[in-house]
Amino acid sequence: MKKIVVLATGGTIAGSSTSSLSSKYESGKIDINDILDSFDEIKDIAKVCGIDICNIGSQNMNENIWLELARKSNELLSSNEVDAIVITHGTDTLEESAYFLNLTIKSHKPVVMSAAMRSHNSLSSDGAMNLYNAISVAAADESAGMGVLVVINDEIHLAREVSKMNTIALNAFSSPNCGKCGIVHYGKVKFYTKSLRQHTLQSKFNPTILPRVDILYDYAGAKIETLYKSNAIKGIVCAALGNGNLSPQMLKFLKSARDNEVVVVISSRVNGGVINGSELDFAKLGFIASDSLNPQKSRVLLMLSLSSKEDIEKIRDNFDIY
């Protein structure tokens, strides 16, 4: 029987409410081993133990916890005593954490993330089934080499592609450009596709510190009046209009930022599609197109690229490789 470690970070899946019919709850209140002990069904899948990394709502997730998650995951996965890892997480920043770990965990062993839209003691909570399915996917031989996977609502998604698309629905997550890569129904796992982008063992990133990268949101009539003067800001991702279009003030601002050697990546505020900047000459402007990465994932890749001290052309290539 396989040995799986569950790394817990809190979130709704470990949340507790004073009423089973209340949408108000406190994230990360329940210890992961108490959750694992609350149902016996997982004992037929694998030998499972839990480790609490932190107990937070994922709105409080930050780069230091990302680095610790990557470090702990790599330590565990290097051991012959661990066959796979499951990471529980809040839904709000799950996609960013998943993509970061997809590029910083160095193992072919399965890594599966999961979450819940309803708290642990909510009526008809989805957490237990999501966790059961996540452990089932982690135990499946087919999950090896797939990169970091996200399991929620009976679906399996690739870390690079998945996004939270609804604020409260149980089917809040989808992969708008590529679709889910598999399904898991009561622990029965089926895969249909895999990523062609580099990840995990193929990834070159091994950060110890992450530089500051900000996200700016463009909009009709945008007024950007203050230039970044701080040397601490190394990169900007713009959630641009449509296919990378920019309002006049945003374009002026980003040109000035580039003149100050800030690396600029253009993503989109639209939930799907590829950025090619057909109406702007990104190469001439010194901007980088995000390909199909949304702003928050573009920020992750830009931080990792900057942490590797790469020049702008290599960073541009990274957005085609990862």
Residue numbers in the known binding site for substrate are 58, 91-92
Residues in the chain: 322
- Strands ordered across the beta sheet of 212-217: 212-217, 233-240, 263-268, 288-289
What is the number of alpha carbons within 13 Å of residue 173 lying toward its C-beta?
Answer: 31
Candidates 9, 88, 91, 93; catalytic one: 91
Q: Which residues are annotated as a binding site?
A: 58, 91-92
Candidates 12, 88, 104, 200; catalytic one: 12
Our answer to whether residue 208 is catalytic in this structure is: no
User: What does the alpha-carbon distance between residue 122 and residue 18 come to, in Å, rounded to a whole number?
Assistant: 9
Token pair recorded at residue 281: 């000459």
Task: Count other Cβ atoms within 10 Å, centred on residue 269.
Answer: 14
User: What does the alpha-carbon distance between residue 309 and residue 142 come to, in Å, rounded to a whole number?
Assistant: 35
Query: What are the beta bridge partners of residue 111?
Result: 85, 148
**DSSP of 48-88:** EEEEEEEEE-GGG--HHHHHHHHHHHHHHHTSTT--EEEEE
Our answer to whether residue 18 is catalytic in this structure is: no
The answer to whether 90 touches 12, Cβ cutoff 8 Å, is yes
The answer to whether 13 touches 131, Cβ cutoff 8 Å, is yes
User: What does the alpha-carbon distance between residue 175 and residue 73 come to, in Å, rounded to a whole number?
Assistant: 25
Sequence-ordered strand ranges (E) for 178-262: 182-185, 188-191, 212-217, 233-240
Residue positions annotated with a catalytic role = 12, 91
